[in-house]
Structure 1
Amino acid sequence: MQYDCLIVDDELALAETTSEYFNMFDVRSAYVTSAVECEQFLQQHEVAIILLDINLGHTSGFDLCKKLRLTTQIPILFISARSSDDDVLIALNIGGDDYIQKPYTLSVLLAKVKAVLKRYGNQVASTEIIQFGNVVIDCNLCRVRVNDIEIKLKTLEYRLLCYLAKNKNRVIPKKELFQEVWGDSITSDGTLNVHIRHLREKIEENANAPQYICTVWGTGYVLEDQN
């Protein structure tokens, strides 16, 4: 069976309420309360997006995320009452696509989930090949090669790189990236900065002195192509 959203949260009442609310607005959702149940659920069903709590009883959402990332690139949005910068950075560094702090408003959370579903559901195949320097993006196969070696990107990393590349040599404001890549205007600077850093580490010869993805302080980013 196919679901739009799987909620993984050991707070049973909150998970159940969130799932019921989503289903009321035609976002087909289910919930589980442990890492084991999550893995079992994914073996039997297809899921478009996962909402993942950090605290899962005797296990950690961080550990579950790292395990899931070995086999899937499904967008993972962390939901947690923990608000420290360290927790946010860990979540994004291990494969999370966003971090939403509890307590959240169900309507805002639903809007975020719908935006992600719309973005991924509306991806259309293209025969376009984008190249800059030693980087080649095959938009049809969703593959990126650097010096003829294929590199692995998370879903949002790939979307971010494609948007920068399609608008190369143009300074793109952060708000535009939030809207066009994440699908909303309330994504945090920290989330964007982490994804930019990961892209630099994967495509730049020296991530600390980027040749392609350059920061325009106070504004946003530009992908520079001198060819």
Structure 2
Amino acid sequence: MTKIFIIEDDDKLSEHIKEYIERYDYEVVTVEDYKQIENQFYKINPDLVLLDINLPYYDGFYFCRVFRRKSTVPIIIISARTLEAEQVMGIELGADDYITKPLSLQLLLVKIKACLRRSCGKYTKKTSINVNGLKLDESNYKIFYKNKEVELSKNECKLIKKLMTQKDKIVTRENLLKILWDDTIFVDDNTLNVNVTRVKNKLRNIGIKKVIKTKRGIGYYFDSSLIDN
């Protein structure tokens, strides 16, 4: 899964961006400690960085220079600074794009996709996920466990991928519906239940039982502790 590192000291905006782009199947990491941004960057090794300019301790221009010393990761600057000279500075320091606030999340998403296309010729998404020996192969729509395998439909693959990548965390029903179906199309709530049941049955066929848990009225979560590695 493509990993995006948001470096934005407006907590409300950072969370708003995070929630929005997670709907499109990106993993999003935010700053833990503004004194340790550089260390966190190298630790998580993101596929793309969203970088604000006005930050505590050091500004975004500083981090743009620092990251470029050792990394070619795509960087999109998001800033309230609208002067052309500052936009030019950001690009010259190595940023791939510059978007000004107030932010259009739809435009930001388009720029994220464009940067990832330019950086690797396609969206930077892994084709396999492994949780305690349970392996999902997205390219072939198959899931494997202890020399057993089962084929998945496209939606079943999307569903189990989301739950596995967010293992041990609740994924809301709304989030899953947005991943599986177009927002503009009405989907009967029971349709999601049916797809979850199908995934549970297929996991049971390869020896994985009760790993998908229901949080009544909220959503589902993938309990990785129930997989015998």
What is the TM-score with the length of structure 2 in the denominator?
0.49
- The structure richer in strand per residue is 1
Q: Larger radius of gyration, structure 1 or 2?
A: 2
What is the TM-score with the length of structure 1 in the denominator?
0.50
